[in-house]
Amino acid sequence: MRTPMTVADFLDRAELGFAASPGVIDEPNQPAPPVPESTYGRLAERVRAWQAGFDALGIGEGERVAVASHNSARLLELLFAVPMSGRICVPINFRLKPEEVDYLVQQSGASVLLLDPELEETLSGIKARHRFILGDQTENELMRFGVEPRPWSNPDEDATATINYTSGTTARPKGVQLTHRNIWVNGLTFGLHTRAWERDVYMHTLPMFHCNGWGMPYVMAGLGVKQVVLRKVDGTEILRRVDEHGVTLMCGAPAVWNAVLDAAATWEGEIPGRDRVRVVCAGAPPPSKTIQRMSDELGWEFTQIYGLTETSPLLTFNRLQPADDALPAEERARKLSRAGIPALGVKLGISHSGEVLARSNTVLDGYWEKPEETEAALGDGWFHTGDGGTIDETDGHLTISDRKKDVIITGGENVSSIEVEDTIFSHPAVAEVAVIGVPHEKWGETIKALVVLTEGATATEADIITHCKQHMAGYKAPTTVEFRDAIPRTATGKIQKFKLREPYWSGRDRQVN
């Protein structure tokens, strides 16, 4: 027998087996009235109210519903409500500038745009056929409580469930089409590898718009795990909520764990969660020193993973094995800095050029309305990650060594160097520019701009940074600007960025931090 694997499976099981169990604890400090703490039974009722509301608007199957929001219970509900009804959810990075959000809304063809109240003013000019502010307006004008929504007419595991935009090597982001099957398999393998179970308490320290919170909202619901929503990352607040709610599992980029380590230095009393909390780290591998501090100073178990939005995202998983227990702390941390071995069902390869290739049921269906980019990424039967790496022949562990694509990962956020270069080049004083990632203790990498000024023109580092922040999201702006007389190029006019990066990465084994 074969039945379609869809997002609905996770919430159906939650409602059946955990209807009276704690489901979601919303962020209490937000501009919208928080959703009252709900059981999984109540979560399912609210999901149906969203679906009935979309029915009333006439939003058909396959239409896109875009949502730009900080972490919130409502965003979590929409990650279920939209795809479960055969529609397509488009989660948008709330940190983007209005023109960037507008591009994503228009490129996806979204019929509905849902906004966090904090974004209402800055995104006021973005148009969609239906536009709502999350909170009182959606509660009173959109959701239809007590109304049974129409069922998805033909549930299909190969249908697109979400479109998640990712920064690539071009200035325009690409919409990653993740299917219900992608999400289902990713959720299953993530739950397996993190040893998740009914007595866990998961806190969303990871932005939910990032590849649907890495799929954790789905698998946590399917296992009946209590989910605690954190709106904004704050090290002290994370420690406080770990203590208050008994959190056992969290995911996030290295910058999140650096914030917790900083807060722990002034925390009064015993660090909460010692020998109980498991953290999953991705975005960029942190220094082994940071990994060792997680164990020594917090007593939290550290797990490294590697993946991309295009792979739902789990590709590899690295957790210490029993045989590692006897190793010195420094050696254990060094082993954890690797990306890990392939997750269940994942096949990895290395191309002749050193690029990491992947095959898995979690690999995207394609890029939304970009057939050429889809063919380039998937045409030979492998997904081309754009990352360079090596696979240890003795134990199968993948190590990411550099990036074939010009993507900078700073604080867990992907930034296209080409997009930053285009913005800087629009400054009237700039003649040439190259943008590279350089190592940073806190953020993993930070953005450096190498700039050649137009003859006779003047500009300061502050001028360039301010110009960027006026035209793009602040995290994409360079943190340092270095002025040069010229930027070296090949005979064909290409900039060899690996040569530009060399002085800043000298003495390091890998060209990522």
Task: Note the pLDDT tens digit of each residue in 173-195.
Answer: 899 999 999 999 999 999 999 99
Strand order of the β-sheet with 64-68 is: 130-133, 112-115, 64-68, 88-92, 160-166, 174-179, 366-367
Could you tell me the sign of the dihedral formed by the alpha carbons of 363, 316, 409, 254, in that order?
A: positive
Higher-confidence residue of 405 and 479: namely 479
3-class secondary-structure state, position 98: helix
- Residue 437 and residue 409 in contact, taking contact as beta carbons nearer than 8 Å: yes
pLDDT of residue 493: 59
pLDDT of residue 448: 96
- Nearest of 229, 218, 219 to residue 197 by alpha carbon: 219
Chain-centroid distance of CA 41 in Å reads: 28
Q: What is the mean pLDDT of residues 486-506?
A: 77
Please indicate, yes or no, if residue 3 is contained in any of the structural domains: no
- Rounded Cα distance between 81 and 77, Å, is 6
Token reading at 218: 């789905």
For residue 163, list its beta bridge partners. 177
Per-position DSSP letters for 144-195, written without gaps between them? -TT-PPPPPSS--TTSEEEEEEE--SSSS-EEEEEEHHHHHHHHHHHHHHTT
To the nearest whole percent, how much of the chain has pLDDT over 70? 96
How many domains would you assign to the chain? 2
Quickly state the pLDDT bin for 479 (edges 50, 70, 90).
Answer: very high
Please indicate, yes or no, if residue 95 is contained in any of the structural domains: no
pLDDT digits (tens, 9 = 90+) for 15-34: 999 999 999 999 999 999 99
**Residue 270: exposed, middle, or buried by beta-carbon count in 10 A (0-12, 13-18, 19+)?**
exposed
Judge if 359 and 248 occupy the same domain.
Answer: yes
Judge if 255 and 353 occupy the same domain.
Answer: yes
- Nearest of 34, 35, 39 to residue 14 by alpha carbon: 39
Judge if 329 and 476 occupy the same domain.
Answer: no
Higher-confidence residue of 501 and 116: namely 116
pLDDT digits (tens, 9 = 90+) for 63-98: 999 999 999 999 999 999 999 999 999 999 999 999
Q: What is the mean pLDDT of residues 440-467?
A: 92
Judge if 401 and 412 occupy the same domain.
Answer: no
Quickly state the pLDDT bin for 511 (edges 50, 70, 90).
Answer: low
End position of a domain, from candidates 350, 375, 405: 405
- Residue 416 and residue 170 in contact, taking contact as beta carbons nearer than 8 Å: yes
Strand order of the β-sheet with 226-229 is: 38-39, 22-25, 226-229, 201-204, 249-252, 278-281, 301-307, 314-318, 341-342
Judge if 311 and 421 occupy the same domain.
Answer: no
The CATH number assigned to the domain holding 448 equals: 3.30.300.30
Q: What is the mean pLDDT of residues 126-151?
A: 98
Per-position DSSP letters for 277-303, written without gaps between them? -EEEE-SSPPPHHHHHHIIIII--EEE
The rounded mean pLDDT for the chain is 93
- Residue 115 and residue 72 in contact, taking contact as beta carbons nearer than 8 Å: no
Judge if 304 and 421 occupy the same domain.
Answer: no
Judge if 358 and 474 occupy the same domain.
Answer: no
Quickly state the pLDDT bin for 485 (edges 50, 70, 90).
Answer: very high
pLDDT of residue 406: 72
Quickly state the pLDDT bin for 417 (edges 50, 70, 90).
Answer: confident
End position of a domain, from candidates 363, 384, 405: 405
Cis-peptide, bond into residue 313, ω within 30° of zero: yes
Kindly state the DSSP code that residue 476 receives in the 8-state scheme: G
Judge if 247 and 311 occupy the same domain.
Answer: yes
Please indicate, yes or no, if residue 240 is contained in any of the structural domains: yes
- Nearest of 415, 465, 412, 414 to residue 442 by alpha carbon: 412
Judge if 328 and 269 occupy the same domain.
Answer: yes
pLDDT of residue 512: 65
- Kindly report which listed range (256-265, 299-308, 404-413) carries the lowest average pLDDT score: 404-413
Please indicate, yes or no, if residue 195 is contained in any of the structural domains: no
- Alpha-helical runs (H) found in 306-364: 329-336
Range of the domain at 276: 233-405
Could you tell me the sign of the dihedral formed by the alpha carbons of 454, 459, 463, 465, in that order?
A: positive
Strand order of the β-sheet with 398-403 is: 347-350, 355-359, 383-391, 398-403
- Kindly report which listed range (33-47, 144-158, 266-280, 438-452) carries the lowest average pLDDT score: 438-452
Judge if 302 and 376 occupy the same domain.
Answer: yes
Please indicate, yes or no, if residue 464 is contained in any of the structural domains: yes
Judge if 299 and 352 occupy the same domain.
Answer: yes
pLDDT of residue 203: 98
End position of a domain, from candidates 360, 375, 405: 405
Whether the predicted pLDDT of 252 surpasses 50: yes
Token reading at 457: 């023109």
Please indicate, yes or no, if residue 355 is contained in any of the structural domains: yes
Judge if 248 and 278 occupy the same domain.
Answer: yes
pLDDT digits (tens, 9 = 90+) for 265-315: 999 999 999 999 999 999 767 778 889 999 999 999 999 999 999 999 999
- Kindly report which listed range (116-125, 294-303, 424-433) carries the lowest average pLDDT score: 424-433
Kindly state the DSSP code that residue 368 receives in the 8-state scheme: T
pLDDT digits (tens, 9 = 90+) for 308-364: 999 999 999 999 999 898 999 989 998 998 999 999 999 999 999 899 999 999 999
Whether the predicted pLDDT of 401 surpasses 50: yes
Per-position DSSP letters for 379-438, written without gaps between them? TTSSEEEEEEEEE-TTT--EEEEEESS-EEEETTEEEEHHHHHHHHHTSTTEEEEEEEEE
For residue 176, list its beta bridge partners. 164, 367
Please indicate, yes or no, if residue 305 is contained in any of the structural domains: yes
What contacts 493, CB < 8 A, 6 or more positions away? none
pLDDT of residue 169: 44
The CATH number assigned to the domain holding 315 equals: 3.40.50.12780
